[in-house]
Amino acid sequence: MKKLLSSLTQLLSVVAPTAITSDEPEPGIPLPLVIWHGLGDNYQADGLRAVGELAKRVNPGTYVYNIHLADDASQDRTASFFGNVTEQLAQVCAALATDPVLKRAPAINGLGFSQGGQFLRGYVERCNRPPVRNLVTFGGQHNGIARFRDCAATDWLCHSAFALLKTNAWSEAVQSRVVPAQYYRDPNDLSQYLEKSNFLADINNERVLKNDTYRRNLRRLRKFAMFLFTDDQTVIPKESGWFAETNLTTGQVTALRDRDLYREDWLGLRALDERGGLDFEAVEGGHMHLTDELLVATFKRYFSLRGSDTAGTTEEL
Protein backbone atom coordinates (compact mmCIF):
# COMPACT_ATOMS: atom_id res chain seq x y z
CA MET A 1 0.00 0.00 0.00
CA LYS A 2 2.86 2.38 0.81
CA LYS A 3 4.34 1.67 -2.63
CA LEU A 4 0.98 2.51 -4.22
CA LEU A 5 0.73 5.78 -2.31
CA SER A 6 4.26 6.68 -3.32
CA SER A 7 3.64 6.11 -7.02
CA LEU A 8 0.36 8.01 -6.88
CA THR A 9 2.05 10.89 -5.10
CA GLN A 10 4.32 11.20 -8.13
CA LEU A 11 1.26 11.13 -10.38
CA LEU A 12 -0.43 13.85 -8.34
CA SER A 13 2.63 16.04 -8.68
CA VAL A 14 1.63 16.48 -12.31
CA VAL A 15 -1.43 18.38 -11.12
CA ALA A 16 0.14 19.92 -8.02
CA PRO A 17 -0.79 23.50 -7.09
CA THR A 18 1.09 26.18 -8.97
CA ALA A 19 1.49 29.86 -8.35
CA ILE A 20 -1.72 31.78 -8.97
CA THR A 21 -1.55 35.44 -9.81
CA SER A 22 -5.14 36.15 -8.72
CA ASP A 23 -7.98 34.12 -7.28
CA GLU A 24 -10.61 36.74 -8.06
CA PRO A 25 -13.34 35.83 -10.57
CA GLU A 26 -14.11 37.95 -13.60
CA PRO A 27 -16.48 40.79 -12.71
CA GLY A 28 -20.10 39.61 -12.66
CA ILE A 29 -19.27 35.92 -13.18
CA PRO A 30 -19.62 33.48 -10.26
CA LEU A 31 -16.91 30.93 -9.67
CA PRO A 32 -17.52 27.47 -11.17
CA LEU A 33 -19.21 24.96 -8.86
CA VAL A 34 -17.86 21.41 -8.63
CA ILE A 35 -20.16 18.77 -7.12
CA TRP A 36 -19.21 15.29 -5.88
CA HIS A 37 -22.19 12.97 -5.30
CA GLY A 38 -22.56 10.38 -2.58
CA LEU A 39 -22.60 6.61 -2.24
CA GLY A 40 -25.04 4.86 -4.56
CA ASP A 41 -25.70 7.96 -6.66
CA ASN A 42 -24.47 8.87 -10.13
CA TYR A 43 -23.55 12.12 -11.82
CA GLN A 44 -26.54 12.03 -14.20
CA ALA A 45 -29.17 11.39 -11.52
CA ASP A 46 -32.23 13.61 -11.72
CA GLY A 47 -31.72 14.91 -8.20
CA LEU A 48 -28.16 15.93 -8.86
CA ARG A 49 -29.12 17.64 -12.10
CA ALA A 50 -31.83 19.53 -10.25
CA VAL A 51 -29.25 20.75 -7.71
CA GLY A 52 -27.06 22.00 -10.56
CA GLU A 53 -29.96 23.80 -12.22
CA LEU A 54 -30.90 25.40 -8.91
CA ALA A 55 -27.32 26.60 -8.45
CA LYS A 56 -27.48 28.25 -11.87
CA ARG A 57 -30.80 29.94 -11.11
CA VAL A 58 -29.60 31.28 -7.77
CA ASN A 59 -26.28 32.48 -9.18
CA PRO A 60 -26.74 33.06 -12.93
CA GLY A 61 -23.69 32.31 -15.03
CA THR A 62 -22.42 29.53 -12.77
CA TYR A 63 -20.61 26.72 -14.58
CA VAL A 64 -21.53 23.44 -12.85
CA TYR A 65 -19.27 20.40 -13.10
CA ASN A 66 -20.49 17.07 -11.71
CA ILE A 67 -17.56 14.86 -10.80
CA HIS A 68 -17.79 11.41 -12.36
CA LEU A 69 -15.49 8.41 -12.51
CA ALA A 70 -17.07 7.00 -15.69
CA ASP A 71 -19.06 8.52 -18.53
CA ASP A 72 -21.67 5.79 -18.17
CA ALA A 73 -24.03 6.59 -15.27
CA SER A 74 -24.30 2.97 -14.17
CA GLN A 75 -20.52 2.57 -14.06
CA ASP A 76 -20.22 5.85 -12.18
CA ARG A 77 -22.62 4.51 -9.55
CA THR A 78 -20.62 1.29 -9.32
CA ALA A 79 -17.48 3.35 -8.74
CA SER A 80 -19.12 4.90 -5.67
CA PHE A 81 -19.07 1.41 -4.10
CA PHE A 82 -16.02 -0.25 -5.66
CA GLY A 83 -12.61 1.22 -6.44
CA ASN A 84 -9.42 2.50 -4.89
CA VAL A 85 -10.23 5.98 -3.56
CA THR A 86 -6.61 7.09 -3.84
CA GLU A 87 -6.64 6.22 -7.53
CA GLN A 88 -10.11 7.70 -8.02
CA LEU A 89 -9.00 10.96 -6.44
CA ALA A 90 -5.96 11.12 -8.72
CA GLN A 91 -8.32 10.67 -11.68
CA VAL A 92 -10.52 13.52 -10.46
CA CYS A 93 -7.53 15.79 -9.87
CA ALA A 94 -6.40 15.26 -13.46
CA ALA A 95 -9.92 15.78 -14.83
CA LEU A 96 -10.46 19.09 -13.02
CA ALA A 97 -7.02 20.38 -13.96
CA THR A 98 -7.68 19.77 -17.65
CA ASP A 99 -11.36 20.72 -17.97
CA PRO A 100 -11.45 23.58 -20.53
CA VAL A 101 -13.50 25.86 -18.24
CA LEU A 102 -12.12 24.92 -14.84
CA LYS A 103 -8.47 25.15 -15.86
CA ARG A 104 -8.98 28.83 -16.76
CA ALA A 105 -10.86 29.65 -13.56
CA PRO A 106 -8.99 31.56 -10.86
CA ALA A 107 -10.72 29.35 -8.28
CA ILE A 108 -13.76 27.10 -7.87
CA ASN A 109 -16.35 26.34 -5.19
CA GLY A 110 -16.92 22.79 -3.97
CA LEU A 111 -20.11 21.01 -2.91
CA GLY A 112 -19.87 17.48 -1.50
CA PHE A 113 -22.80 15.22 -0.68
CA SER A 114 -22.28 12.44 1.88
CA GLN A 115 -19.01 10.60 1.05
CA GLY A 116 -18.40 13.15 -1.69
CA GLY A 117 -17.72 15.61 1.11
CA GLN A 118 -14.57 13.96 2.41
CA PHE A 119 -13.50 13.12 -1.12
CA LEU A 120 -13.70 16.77 -2.17
CA ARG A 121 -11.74 17.67 0.96
CA GLY A 122 -9.17 15.13 -0.18
CA TYR A 123 -9.01 16.96 -3.51
CA VAL A 124 -8.27 20.22 -1.69
CA GLU A 125 -5.54 18.61 0.37
CA ARG A 126 -3.82 16.53 -2.30
CA CYS A 127 -3.92 18.67 -5.43
CA ASN A 128 -6.22 21.74 -5.34
CA ARG A 129 -5.70 22.82 -8.93
CA PRO A 130 -7.83 24.72 -9.64
CA PRO A 131 -7.97 25.86 -6.00
CA VAL A 132 -11.20 25.64 -4.01
CA ARG A 133 -12.34 28.88 -2.43
CA ASN A 134 -15.41 27.74 -0.44
CA LEU A 135 -16.06 24.10 0.44
CA VAL A 136 -19.52 22.96 1.60
CA THR A 137 -20.27 19.40 2.71
CA PHE A 138 -23.66 17.89 3.54
CA GLY A 139 -23.75 14.76 5.71
CA GLY A 140 -20.04 14.08 5.27
CA GLN A 141 -18.03 11.47 7.14
CA HIS A 142 -14.96 13.56 7.90
CA ASN A 143 -14.12 11.42 10.91
CA GLY A 144 -15.18 8.22 9.20
CA ILE A 145 -17.93 5.71 9.92
CA ALA A 146 -17.85 3.24 12.81
CA ARG A 147 -20.83 1.16 11.71
CA PHE A 148 -22.17 0.13 8.35
CA ARG A 149 -25.36 1.39 6.75
CA ASP A 150 -28.29 -0.81 5.78
CA CYS A 151 -28.94 -1.37 2.11
CA ALA A 152 -32.25 -1.33 0.25
CA ALA A 153 -33.60 -4.85 -0.16
CA THR A 154 -32.97 -4.98 -3.91
CA ASP A 155 -29.76 -2.96 -4.05
CA TRP A 156 -27.43 -5.87 -4.75
CA LEU A 157 -24.47 -3.60 -5.49
CA CYS A 158 -24.75 -2.13 -2.01
CA HIS A 159 -25.21 -5.56 -0.42
CA SER A 160 -22.12 -6.87 -2.22
CA ALA A 161 -19.95 -3.97 -1.07
CA PHE A 162 -20.99 -4.13 2.56
CA ALA A 163 -20.78 -7.93 2.67
CA LEU A 164 -17.11 -7.63 1.72
CA LEU A 165 -16.59 -4.82 4.20
CA LYS A 166 -18.01 -6.88 7.06
CA THR A 167 -15.76 -9.88 6.33
CA ASN A 168 -12.46 -8.12 7.04
CA ALA A 169 -12.46 -4.35 6.71
CA TRP A 170 -8.68 -4.14 7.19
CA SER A 171 -7.58 -6.64 4.57
CA GLU A 172 -5.61 -5.13 1.68
CA ALA A 173 -8.15 -6.52 -0.79
CA VAL A 174 -11.04 -4.71 0.90
CA GLN A 175 -9.10 -1.51 1.63
CA SER A 176 -8.05 -1.21 -2.00
CA ARG A 177 -11.40 -2.14 -3.48
CA VAL A 178 -14.43 -1.30 -1.29
CA VAL A 179 -14.99 2.45 -1.14
CA PRO A 180 -16.77 2.75 2.27
CA ALA A 181 -14.04 0.61 3.86
CA GLN A 182 -11.56 3.33 3.04
CA TYR A 183 -13.25 5.77 5.41
CA TYR A 184 -14.14 3.16 8.04
CA ARG A 185 -12.75 4.21 11.43
CA ASP A 186 -13.39 2.22 14.60
CA PRO A 187 -12.35 4.30 17.66
CA ASN A 188 -11.86 1.00 19.52
CA ASP A 189 -9.36 -0.28 16.95
CA LEU A 190 -7.28 2.74 16.01
CA SER A 191 -4.04 0.76 15.67
CA GLN A 192 -5.45 -1.25 12.76
CA TYR A 193 -6.97 1.88 11.26
CA LEU A 194 -3.74 3.88 11.41
CA GLU A 195 -1.75 1.03 9.91
CA LYS A 196 -4.09 -0.14 7.18
CA SER A 197 -6.54 2.61 6.22
CA ASN A 198 -6.08 3.33 2.53
CA PHE A 199 -7.58 6.81 2.60
CA LEU A 200 -9.04 8.46 5.69
CA ALA A 201 -6.08 8.09 8.07
CA ASP A 202 -3.93 9.78 5.44
CA ILE A 203 -6.15 12.75 4.54
CA ASN A 204 -6.93 13.32 8.24
CA ASN A 205 -3.16 13.51 8.88
CA GLU A 206 -3.54 11.11 11.82
CA ARG A 207 -0.32 9.19 11.30
CA VAL A 208 2.92 10.17 13.03
CA LEU A 209 4.42 11.70 9.91
CA LYS A 210 2.28 14.73 9.03
CA ASN A 211 1.80 16.04 5.50
CA ASP A 212 2.23 19.80 5.65
CA THR A 213 0.82 20.22 2.13
CA TYR A 214 -2.55 18.98 3.39
CA ARG A 215 -2.46 21.55 6.18
CA ARG A 216 -1.46 24.41 3.86
CA ASN A 217 -4.06 23.60 1.22
CA LEU A 218 -6.98 23.26 3.62
CA ARG A 219 -5.95 26.42 5.45
CA ARG A 220 -6.16 28.20 2.12
CA LEU A 221 -9.96 27.89 1.99
CA ARG A 222 -11.98 31.01 2.65
CA LYS A 223 -14.87 29.00 4.05
CA PHE A 224 -15.32 25.35 5.01
CA ALA A 225 -18.97 24.76 5.94
CA MET A 226 -19.98 21.37 7.36
CA PHE A 227 -23.70 20.54 7.46
CA LEU A 228 -24.77 17.76 9.84
CA PHE A 229 -28.23 16.13 9.80
CA THR A 230 -29.63 15.92 13.33
CA ASP A 231 -31.58 12.68 12.75
CA ASP A 232 -29.03 11.00 10.51
CA GLN A 233 -29.32 7.20 10.74
CA THR A 234 -27.08 6.53 7.76
CA VAL A 235 -23.85 8.14 8.92
CA ILE A 236 -22.84 6.46 12.18
CA PRO A 237 -21.86 8.41 14.12
CA LYS A 238 -23.52 11.47 12.60
CA GLU A 239 -21.12 13.77 14.49
CA SER A 240 -18.46 12.65 12.02
CA GLY A 241 -19.84 15.37 9.76
CA TRP A 242 -18.28 17.90 12.17
CA PHE A 243 -15.01 15.99 12.70
CA ALA A 244 -16.20 14.95 16.18
CA GLU A 245 -15.13 11.74 17.93
CA THR A 246 -18.00 9.65 19.30
CA ASN A 247 -17.82 6.79 21.79
CA LEU A 248 -20.57 4.49 20.53
CA THR A 249 -20.66 2.63 23.85
CA THR A 250 -21.19 5.62 26.13
CA GLY A 251 -22.49 8.10 23.58
CA GLN A 252 -19.89 10.65 24.69
CA VAL A 253 -18.98 13.09 21.94
CA THR A 254 -15.63 14.86 21.78
CA ALA A 255 -16.04 17.96 19.66
CA LEU A 256 -13.45 18.90 17.05
CA ARG A 257 -12.11 21.81 19.11
CA ASP A 258 -11.33 19.40 21.98
CA ARG A 259 -9.36 16.95 19.83
CA ASP A 260 -5.61 16.81 19.19
CA LEU A 261 -6.39 17.03 15.48
CA TYR A 262 -7.56 20.60 16.15
CA ARG A 263 -5.33 21.59 19.06
CA GLU A 264 -2.15 20.58 17.23
CA ASP A 265 -3.65 21.75 13.92
CA TRP A 266 -2.87 18.64 11.91
CA LEU A 267 -5.09 19.83 9.06
CA GLY A 268 -5.09 23.61 9.40
CA LEU A 269 -8.64 23.58 10.77
CA ARG A 270 -7.69 25.56 13.87
CA ALA A 271 -6.05 28.28 11.78
CA LEU A 272 -9.09 28.33 9.50
CA ASP A 273 -11.41 28.53 12.50
CA GLU A 274 -9.46 31.34 14.16
CA ARG A 275 -10.01 33.61 11.17
CA GLY A 276 -13.71 32.74 10.92
CA GLY A 277 -13.45 30.27 8.08
CA LEU A 278 -14.99 27.20 9.72
CA ASP A 279 -18.79 26.87 9.92
CA PHE A 280 -20.71 24.13 11.77
CA GLU A 281 -24.30 23.90 10.55
CA ALA A 282 -27.10 21.60 11.79
CA VAL A 283 -30.04 20.58 9.58
CA GLU A 284 -33.16 18.97 11.02
CA GLY A 285 -34.05 15.63 9.48
CA GLY A 286 -32.47 12.45 8.22
CA HIS A 287 -29.48 11.89 5.98
CA MET A 288 -29.49 14.15 2.91
CA HIS A 289 -32.86 15.64 3.84
CA LEU A 290 -32.39 18.64 1.58
CA THR A 291 -34.95 21.27 0.73
CA ASP A 292 -34.84 23.90 -1.98
CA GLU A 293 -35.03 26.54 0.73
CA LEU A 294 -31.90 25.18 2.41
CA LEU A 295 -30.00 24.86 -0.86
CA VAL A 296 -30.95 28.34 -2.05
CA ALA A 297 -29.77 29.87 1.22
CA THR A 298 -26.53 27.87 1.03
CA PHE A 299 -25.85 28.82 -2.58
CA LYS A 300 -26.45 32.50 -1.82
CA ARG A 301 -24.24 32.44 1.26
CA TYR A 302 -21.28 30.49 -0.07
CA PHE A 303 -21.39 30.45 -3.87
CA SER A 304 -22.71 33.86 -4.94
CA LEU A 305 -20.35 36.61 -6.03
CA ARG A 306 -20.95 38.41 -2.75
CA GLY A 307 -20.68 35.20 -0.70
CA SER A 308 -17.43 34.13 -2.33
CA ASP A 309 -15.89 37.55 -1.89
CA THR A 310 -16.91 38.20 1.73
CA ALA A 311 -16.71 34.74 3.31
CA GLY A 312 -13.41 35.22 5.10
CA THR A 313 -10.05 35.89 3.55
CA THR A 314 -7.71 33.43 1.92
CA GLU A 315 -4.47 32.98 3.82
CA GLU A 316 -1.42 34.06 1.90
CA LEU A 317 1.00 31.20 1.32
The residues assigned a catalytic role are: 114, 232, 287
End-to-end CA distance of the chain: 31
DSSP 3-state of 156: helix
Torsion angle of C-alpha atoms 33, 34, 40, 41, degrees rounded to 10: 50
Half-sphere exposure of 248 (CA within 13 A, CB side): 13
Beta strands in the chain (DSSP E): 33-36, 64-66, 108-113, 132-138, 223-229, 245-246, 253-254, 278-283
Q: 224's torsion region: left (phi>0), alpha (psi -120 to 50) or beta?
A: beta
Cis peptide before 106 (omega within 30 of 0): no
